[in-house]
A and B are shown apart, each in its own frame.
Chain A
Amino acid sequence: MTREQIKEAVVQALLGVAPETQASALRSDQDLREQLEIDSFDFLNFVIALDKNLSVAIPETDYQKLATLDACVDYLAARMQPKPQDGTKFPEKGAWR
């Protein structure tokens, strides 16, 4: 997924919790909760939508990394990176056996 696609998915998730959002008016470097006047329930539903649509598990401790639109894209892009081919960060093939 490209950054643009991720951004679009984030905007769609935001529209789901704040339907009156004008995507074009959204400042990507400013706090989402403040701009959209969303509460903790809306934010939780936003995270649920990201989890569902992008299949990215977001632990609660990472919520703070989703403060702005830019931050969301950065965070999700990093989480969605394909697994490294050299296997340095992940168990070697067969390690589970």
Chain B
Amino acid sequence: MAEFLMPSLGADMEAGTLVAWMVKPGQEVKRGDIVCVVETQKGAIEVEIFESGTITELLVQPGTEVPVGKPLALLRREGETLAAAAPPSPPAPAPEVAAKVEAKVLPPAVAEGHGPRASPAARNAARALGIDLAAVTGTGLGGAITREDVEHAAAARPPAPAVPAAPQRAIGMRQAIAAAMGRSKREIPHYYLSTRSDLGRAMEWLRAENGRRAVADRLLPVALLLKAVALAARRFPEMNGFYLDGTFRPSAEVHLGVAISLKDGLVAPALHSVPDKSLGDLMRELSDLIQRARRGGLRSSELADSTLTVTSLGDNGVDSVLGIIFPPQVSLVGLGRIAERPCVRDGKVVARPTVDLSLSADHRVSDGLRGSLFLAAIDRLLQEPEAL
């Protein structure tokens, strides 16, 4: 028998509130299945299980606040009989692993597509009003719960404040960001580099490529940039991994954290194994990630796995961004705005689309020379867009 524990989704997380179970006692689960939604100060997170087996008992009712490391449910492991009583071990990420992530904040919404059928507006209203959707009778299409249904249910009984109210959550997000960024600046000796990359070929290739693609399959320049960063990171292991307990641990995989702005803060969930993915797949996954980050439904693995973060503030019109590293990661790549700028080519000043790439890196792990070679490698990869 194993215990499924409240995971730590950030070094500063002490407790989370169980919002909903996605499984029932007796249900079989596979490693990676989402078993519950937990509300933290960073928002609602879908928690995955890290062992396969059968859920035997749910120990906690929705609405309960549970400290990190306390059991939420019992699991009979695959192949285990009812009688076999192995000592409990945590199927949830161990605190050290989960401590990889800090200041990961999420919008207040339960994942869509789970639990009773309800419109996103109804789910948002239910959360805001502290209403359990399972207890609401739906009057919408096919019995779906509408916002009006939720409001009627709320009027019928005093709202139970099971989850933090929105203003409190916004404060929690800021606190989480403050904790992570404060720790980063206290502990990590950052050094900063930047370079300007000529995107003339990349943009030309992209125009031609998008001309062949249906609207829904078109690529944005950010897909090329992310792929180039990830491919370069694979060749510069000292930029990709975690600094834990005074030691750098490089990562074999490149999972790019992508900084996504939210109304009340910021989240940087992981795009997994970026070097192995096509540009089209990256676009689809990034689009999905952004939507889930904003509407709710990020998964615990996405909050724990990033090995290197990329922040792109270019859309907001700034030329460059020098970011703060997300501990315990050791570098962060900043992407500025893509715009036509004067460049010198063959002794003449010409207008070329360019982007300013920046690197913030941990001087405990790497030196400026390697950092500059890393940026140069990204630039070189961008000169051959067809190979990305």
**Contacts from A to B (Cβ < 8 Å):** 20, 33, 39-41, 44-45, 47-48, 51-52, 57-61
Chain B residues positioned under 8 Å from A45 (CB to CB): 287
Interface residue B346 (Cβ < 8 Å from any Cβ of A): no
Residue of A nearest to B121 (CB): A19
Known: A39-B315, A40-B315. A60 touches B218 (CB 8 A): yes
CB <8 Å contact, A51 and B315: no
Chain A residues positioned under 8 Å from B207 (CB to CB): 60-61
Chain B residues positioned under 8 Å from A52 (CB to CB): 216
CB <8 Å contact, B222 and A40: yes
Interface residue B286 (Cβ < 8 Å from any Cβ of A): yes
Chain B residues positioned under 8 Å from A58 (CB to CB): 215
Chain B residues positioned under 8 Å from A51 (CB to CB): 215-216
How long is the Cα–Cα vector from A40 to B337 in the complex, in angstroms? 11
Majority SS at the chain B contact face: helix
How long is the Cα–Cα vector from A61 to B210 in the complex, in angstroms? 10
How long is the Cα–Cα vector from A61 to B218 in the complex, in angstroms? 12
CB <8 Å contact, B216 and A60: no
Interface residue B211 (Cβ < 8 Å from any Cβ of A): yes
Cβ distance A65 to chain B, nearest Cβ, rounded Å:
15
Known: A60-B207, A60-B211, A61-B207. A44 touches B218 (CB 8 A): yes
Interface residue B290 (Cβ < 8 Å from any Cβ of A): yes
CB <8 Å contact, A47 and B286: no
How long is the Cα–Cα vector from A45 to B218 in the complex, in angstroms? 10
Residue of A nearest to B338 (CB): A40
Residue of A nearest to B313 (CB): A39
Cβ distance A66 to chain B, nearest Cβ, rounded Å:
12
Known: A41-B287, A47-B215, A51-B215. A60 touches B210 (CB 8 A): yes
Interface residue B220 (Cβ < 8 Å from any Cβ of A): yes
Cβ distance B57 to chain A, nearest Cβ, rounded Å:
39
Cβ distance A9 to chain B, nearest Cβ, rounded Å:
15
**Contacts from B to A (Cβ < 8 Å):** 207, 210-211, 215-216, 218, 220-222, 263, 286-287, 290, 315-316
How long is the Cα–Cα vector from A40 to B287 in the complex, in angstroms? 11
Residue of A nearest to B210 (CB): A60
Cβ distance A30 to chain B, nearest Cβ, rounded Å:
15
Cβ distance A49 to chain B, nearest Cβ, rounded Å:
10
Cβ distance B95 to chain A, nearest Cβ, rounded Å:
34
Cβ distance A34 to chain B, nearest Cβ, rounded Å:
9
CB <8 Å contact, A44 and B220: yes
CB <8 Å contact, B215 and A48: yes
Q: List 12 A-B contacts (CB under 8 A).
A: A33-B315, A39-B316, A40-B220, A40-B221, A41-B222, A41-B287, A41-B290, A48-B216, A51-B215, A60-B210, A60-B218, A61-B207
Chain A residues positioned under 8 Å from B287 (CB to CB): 41, 45
How long is the Cα–Cα vector from A40 to B283 in the complex, in angstroms? 12
Contact of A41 among B211, B220, B263 (CB under 8 A): B220
Chain B residues positioned under 8 Å from A47 (CB to CB): 215
Chain B residues positioned under 8 Å from A44 (CB to CB): 218, 220
Known: A40-B221, A59-B211. 6 other contacts (CB 8 A): A39-B315, A40-B315, A41-B286, A41-B287, A45-B287, A51-B216
Cβ distance A69 to chain B, nearest Cβ, rounded Å:
19
Cβ distance B108 to chain A, nearest Cβ, rounded Å:
14
How long is the Cα–Cα vector from A88 to B263 in the complex, in angstroms? 51
